[in-house]
């Protein structure tokens, strides 16, 4: 196992982002990249000494791009750029989320096309390796000229301003630098802009949210299988032949997971020849619904894998083929539209896992639909309300998710005197996805509690072997409900179980991965 991630701007994976962000892996910059940065920076310094205006090096920014800056003010220009752009608001990104942003910025700068000194990247990697993270408010980016405000708060850390985190504890930026054995950095020509021009806030959040969404998709299959057995549902809709003739990859994977979970179910055998012809859509269409979410997540993964290894600065610096100089090209790689679309899709596809989960709860709690189970799964209905209000909580979260699924990417508000006349709102898409994902962990946790109660009420018949394993994990932390109790405590435990990955490991074992 490799415990160090090597940054070369081209080979970073989403799994690397996940691991480094959680302080599990150290980071280094590839030596060849450090050499390239030195070579390119030599030419940038040379240009900064000339009288010809070059955007981002010796001019103002945005709508002030035509304003030439005197040589004596170039360092002051970069410093003030960071101060003026650090205007984020709202709750800060978590320690883990902020580290993902810092890692991605280091990786893109390592490519060399931003024209900064190698010291910038070495500061970022030193902070990562010492367990530090910038204090980055979550709101304030329109995702057009990059995530300007969030990245400016990252840059504040390098110059010793504002706040930071050390292993999750909020401290001053000066203390974080001292912890990493660094001193405040003096930015040179182009370097302030190089730090803030890019999509790394929305991309960093996106990588983490995607990993959660992929975990939720497996959880939906696992917990959905529990509901199938709890409701005396049929396993016929998961027959491999059905999914071979509509071969969406996600659909096939979910059907396979459901088959694996339901193998050797005594409950299924007890009603194999009953008169019920078909189950509700929330049961028999799980492969099609969960699978569509899987395929959407695959699309999002493809977008993010490209983005985290891209140069998203402006202007971009290119070393000429003969290495005798550089070309400085202005373009629009900072625009967040690819990510804005993808992260809106991520929220929508995740929310759908919660939508169908809540409908399975209705099937289990409604005595007209539950194949003989008592109302709301109460042992003594009437004096006990059972799980009646757990479904209400789920319904409230499903409703909230629907609101958060309104796409941010369809909006654009011109900024910077209409120089930035079309923006992506991609950071809003990322923030929305985070809320939807958190809600879906809770929704699926509620379904797990309800399915567990129903399965115990089917005894002595046993569910599929995979479902039995889930029940053993559940009953270690949440007991069968004989009478009403403080259910919010059970919700917290189920949420933690869903997030832990313990249930997901069951599928890994069943499928022999």
Q: What is the CATH number of the domain that holds 137?
A: 1.10.275.10
Q: 385 by DSSP, 3-state: which?
A: coil
- Average pLDDT value for residue range 218-238: 97
- Average pLDDT value for residue range 29-57: 90
CA–CA dist 62, 147 (Å, integer): 14
- Among 37-46, 66-75, 277-286, 426-435, whose mean pLDDT is lowest? 66-75
Residues 321, 173: one domain?
no
First to last CA, the chain: 18
CA–CA dist 81, 94 (Å, integer): 25
Return the pLDDT at 1: 46
Is 68 exposed, middle or buried, given 0-12, 13-18 or 19+ CB atoms closer than 10 A?
A: exposed
CA atoms within 13 A on the CB side of 82: 26
Residues 235, 172: one domain?
no
Give which of 304, 299, 331, 336 is closest to 316, Cα–Cα. Answer: 331
Return the pLDDT at 145: 85
CB 497 within 8 A of CB 448: yes
DSSP state of 171: E
Residues 172, 219: one domain?
no
Question: 434 — phi, psi (to 5°)?
Answer: -65, -40
CA–CA dist 32, 428 (Å, integer): 36
CA–CA dist 425, 411 (Å, integer): 7
Residues 320, 396: one domain?
yes
CA–CA dist 38, 18 (Å, integer): 29
Residues 368, 399: one domain?
yes
Return the pLDDT at 417: 83
Return the pLDDT at 5: 97
Dihedral angle sign, alpha carbons of residues 79, 83, 84, 86: positive
Catalytically annotated residues? 55
Residues 179, 303: one domain?
no
Write down which residue in 171, 198, 225 finishes a domain. Answer: 198
Return the pLDDT at 276: 76
Residues 300, 153: one domain?
no
Range of the domain at 176: 4-198
Q: In sequence order, what DSSP letters do the residues of 1-12 get, joined into one string?
A: ---EEEE-SS--
Sheet strands (E) in 324-379: 326-329
Residues 271, 231: one domain?
yes
Burial 368-404 (b: 16+ CB within 10 A, else e): eebbebbbbbbeeeeebebbeebbebbeebbeebeeb
Residues 35, 179: one domain?
yes
pLDDT bin (cut points 50, 70, 90) of residue 2 is low
Which CATH number fits the domain that encloses residue 492? 1.20.200.10
Joined together, the tokens standing for residue 368 give: 């007209």
Residue keyed to tokens 């990104």: 93
Residues 191, 312: one domain?
no
CB 96 within 8 A of CB 136: no
Mean pLDDT of the chain: 95
Query: Of 275 and 50, which is predicted with more confidence?
Result: 50
CB 453 within 8 A of CB 480: yes
Using CA atoms, how far residue 493 sits from 395, 396, 417, 445, 448, in Å, is: 19, 19, 51, 8, 11
CA–CA dist 324, 43 (Å, integer): 9
Write down which residue in 155, 173, 198 finishes a domain. Answer: 198
Which alpha helices (DSSP H) does 22-94 contain, by range? 31-48, 74-85
pTM: 0.95
Residues 258, 402: one domain?
yes
Judge whether residue 436 has pLDDT over 60: yes
Q: How many domains does the chain have?
A: 2
As a whole-number percent, the residues of the chain with pLDDT over 90 amount to 88
Quick one: how far is CA 498 from the chain centroid?
A: 16
Q: What pLDDT digit, counting tens, does each position of 279-319 carry?
A: 999 999 999 999 999 999 999 999 999 999 999 999 999 99
Return the pLDDT at 416: 84
Joined together, the tokens standing for residue 152 give: 């400016």
Return the pLDDT at 443: 98
Q: 68 by DSSP, 3-state: which?
A: strand
Judge whether residue 180 has pLDDT over 70: yes
Dihedral angle sign, alpha carbons of residues 287, 290, 295, 301: negative
Write down which residue in 147, 173, 198 finishes a domain. Answer: 198
pLDDT bin (cut points 50, 70, 90) of residue 62 is low
Judge whether residue 114 has pLDDT over 50: yes
As a whole-number percent, the residues of the chain with pLDDT over 70 amount to 98
């Amino acid at each position: 196992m490799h415990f160090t991630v090597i940054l070369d701007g081209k080979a970073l994976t989403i799994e690397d982002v996940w691991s480094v962000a959680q302080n599990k892996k150290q980071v280094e910059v590839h030596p060849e990249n450090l050499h390239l940065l030195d070579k390119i920076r030599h030419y940038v310094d040379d240009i900064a000494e000339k009288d010809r205006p070059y955007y981002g090096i010796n001019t103002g920014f945005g709508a002030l791009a035509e304003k030439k800056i005197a040589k004596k003010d170039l360092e002051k220009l970069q410093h003030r750029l960071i101060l003026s752009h650090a205007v984020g608001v709202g709750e800060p990104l978590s320690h883990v989320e902020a580290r993902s942003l810092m890692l991605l910025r280091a990786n893109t700068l390592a490519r060399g096309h931003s024209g900064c000194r190698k010291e910038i990247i070495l500061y970022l990697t030193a902070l990562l390796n010492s367990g530090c993270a910038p204090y980055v408010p979550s709101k304030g980016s329109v995702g057009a000229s990059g995530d300007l405000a969030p990245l400016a708060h990252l840059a504040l850390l390098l110059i010793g301003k504002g706040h930071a985190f050390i292993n999750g504890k909020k401290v001053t930026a000066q203390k974080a630098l001292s912890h990493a054995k660094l001193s405040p950095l003096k930015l040179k020509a182009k370097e302030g802009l190089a730090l803030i021009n890019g999509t790394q806030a929305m991309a960093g959040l996106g990588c983490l949210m995607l990993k959660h969404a992929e975990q939720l998709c497996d959880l939906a299959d696992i917990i959905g299988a529990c509901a199938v057995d709890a409701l005396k549902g049929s396993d016929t809709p998961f027959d491999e032949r059905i999914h071979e003739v509509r071969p969406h990859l996600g659909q096939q994977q979910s059907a396979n997971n459901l088959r694996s979970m339901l193998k050797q179910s005594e409950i299924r055998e007890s009603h194999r020849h009953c008169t019920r012809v078909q189950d509700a859509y929330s049961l028999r269409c799980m492969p099609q619904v969960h699978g569509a979410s899987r395929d959407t997540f695959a699309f999002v993964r493809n977008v993010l894998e490209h983005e985290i290894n891209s140069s998203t600065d402006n202007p971009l610096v290119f070393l000429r083929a003969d290495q005798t100089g550089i070309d400085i090209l202005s373009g629009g790689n900072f625009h967040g539209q690819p990510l804005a679309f993808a992260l809106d899709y991520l929220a929508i596809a995740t929310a759908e896992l919660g939508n169908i989960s809540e409908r399975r709860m209705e099937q289990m709690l409604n005595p007209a639909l539950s194949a003989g189970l008592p109302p709301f799964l109460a042992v003594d209905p009437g004096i006990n309300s059972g799980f009646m209000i757990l479904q209400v909580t789920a319904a409230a979260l499903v409703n909230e998710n629907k609101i958060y699924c309104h796409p941010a990417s369809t909006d654009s508000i011109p900024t910077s005197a209409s120089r930035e006349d079309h923006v992506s709102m991609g950071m809003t898409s990322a923030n929305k996805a985070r809320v939807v994902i958190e809600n879906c962990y809770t929704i699926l946790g509620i379904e797990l509690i309800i399915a567990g109660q129903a399965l115990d009420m089917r005894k002595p018949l046993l569910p599929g072997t995979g479902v039995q394993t889930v029940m053993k994990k559940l009953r270690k932390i949440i007991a069968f409900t004989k009478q009403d109790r403080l259910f919010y405590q059970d919700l917290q435990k189920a949420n933690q179980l869903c997030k832990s990955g313990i249930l997901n490991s069951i599928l890994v074992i069943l499928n022999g991965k």
